[in-house]
Structure 1
């Protein structure tokens, strides 16, 4: 790496800070420096030099890179701690305006990358409910919608009758921070919802009224836990080997759109992400799958 690199200069400043202000020992500083140097080499491959150009998506890509190189969850967590300290220093010193490492969460079990289903897995899951039963029609409509619109579980179960426009083909949901967004809904999901409204919802309500779109036999909105349980049940019924959660369908929605050529900004708006860096992780997942497909199927891969 070029000795005049902006990244290296900021690293030198940070090391001085650790010695003079924090009073850390040689071994601790050497460990932090080794972690940062490894990140610096990654930046060099990405042709990124200035620390002001580093965003959350790039840090996520680096952690995925470390995982692909075989580093354990504990080692990746240590690297993230080193990066957090470095960027906290840069932010406090007004060298960068925004801390890109602050949004990255690495739990004890390791970096939780999105669980992405294949399209055939999704089809098997969506075909699992028995559409001859009222609950099966409801469950099918809910599964179609959470995948078809990339909703969060909380958004799905709180969806009101007034929140869906079947004619125009969209849902109006309230996401994190009660932010409203409008998301288009595909034909399959719209058909499943129409069928549920015609043949299932009246039987579940039994002359009761409800403002909620999806209801139980008690005439109430489905709970978050109940929906988690039914997703698990249908995943087992579909004989899916992956561990599936409702969020897996949201992740799959985003990844499948990007793999199909959708614009990142459009996906960001549909997911309701305030910051596009949160959406960028799906591009890394999609790119990794493309690389794997190329290696597997190309004659010179």
Structure 2
């Protein structure tokens, strides 16, 4: 049955409004709220015109199966399932439902220890040289914070001027609304101070966002991604060997973690720097450095004894 977005919203407006309120009260980021609402709308589009209270585990499984048939990977399906679990949980907590039909559906098994792509140190230097334009100082600061302090795009987006402390550290609001402190190297401190001096005055109430657009508004996540994407395009044109690699702003964070491991940073410290809730998430970076494996084997090369084989 073909139905319009307007019909869908009319049918499920109350449930979606309650879900939005619930997510805000849980302190979810705006990006998470948008993603969860989008995935929930996708599901309700498939379930229409059934009432939410009559939806079952089979309806959710049928939707997940349809997503697979249309080419959605494990990660995408797991994200959709997380959104639906949250949607039904919200309605239960708000006394609109009694059971969560998505709660007992198993997530798809994802490939473990998948090696993330990253830039080598010389490639990272070349990438930074690709920055330019009218807002060079601001853009340089953004890239340095992702590449040499390991910040996520959303964390750069949420930064305010007062998050940069007098002692040279930055206080970062990460996933799960957890704060962490990152002591910045002096080189990045200097660039950040310069960027603050040059920034356009913000026009957003009491908040003073660290990075603003030419119109004085907090720089959007998409614009921060675009700063990196444009530099990656120029880098690939200059270094054709990188052309097959999928590059995005998040790869700068991977590059930071790789450099930390190579420099001997222990896994617990790296977990704190990256703001990972679980050490398992951080441990992937202990597996990605083939150079360390080679160096480890080279360390014992001189100690290997192989007897000369005697033939009779």
What is the TM-score of this pair, normalised by structure 2? 0.54
Question: Which of 231, 243, 246 is the aligned partner of 1:243?
Answer: 246
Q: Does 1:224 align with 2:228?
A: no
Partner Cα distance (1:263, 1:103) in 2: 31
2:257 paired residue number: 254
Which segments of 5 or more consecutive residues in structure 2 lack a partner in the other structure? 1-73, 75-105, 305-312
Instruction: Give the whole-Å Cα distance in 2 for the aligned partners of 1:256 and 1:104.
Output: 31
Partner of 1:184: 183
Instruction: Output the aligned Cα RMSD.
Output: 3.2
State the Cα distance separating 1:205 from its structure 2 match.
3.2
The question of whether the paired residues in 1 share the 8 Å contact of 2:202 and 2:209 is answered with no
Question: Structure 2: how far apart are the matches of 1:105 and 1:205?
Answer: 48
**Residues 1:113 and 2:109 aligned together:** no
Deviations 1:124-162 (A, max 9, x none): 1122222xx541110001001112211111011110111
1:52-63 superposed matches below 5 A: none
Judged with a 3 Å threshold, the aligned counterparts in structure 2 of structure 1 residues 196 and 299 are, in CA distance, closer, same or farther, namely same
Determine the structure 2 residue equivalent to 1:289.
Answer: 291
TM-score, reference length from structure 1: 0.56
Unaligned runs of 5+ in 1: 1-76, 78-101
Shift in Å, 1:290: 1.9
Matched with 1:155 is 155
Query: Residue 205 of structure 1 aligns to a residue in which SS?
Result: coil
After superposition, residues 115-154 of structure 1 pair within 5 angstroms as 115-130=117-132, 134-154=134-154
Number of aligned residue pairs: give it: 192
Q: How far apart, CA to CA, are the structure 1 residues paired with 2:275 and 2:155?
A: 11
Q: Which residue of 1 aligns with 2:274?
A: 271
Decide whether aligned partners of structure 1 residues 105 and 235 sit closer, same or farther in structure 2, where only a CA change above 3 A counts.
Answer: farther
Q: Distance in 1 between matches of 2:152 and 2:284?
A: 17
- State the SS of the aligned residue for 2:172: strand
Spell out, residue by residue over 1:163-222, the C-alpha distance to the aligned partner (whole angstroms, 9 max, x if none): 112x31211111111011111212222121122122x30xx3389885100111011111
- Cα displacement (A) at 1:234: 0.6
Please tell me whether residue 168 in structure 1 is matched to residue 167 in structure 2: yes
CA distance in 1, matches of 2:130, 2:287: 30
Instruction: Give the aligned partner of residue 201 of structure 2.
Output: 205
Summarize the Cα distance change of 1:206–1:248 in structure 2 as closer, same or farther, 3 Å threshold.
closer
Q: Distance in 2 between matches of 1:117 and 1:299?
A: 29
Could you say what secondary structure the match of 2:181 adopts?
strand
Residue pair 2:128, 2:143 contacting (<8 A) in 1 also: yes
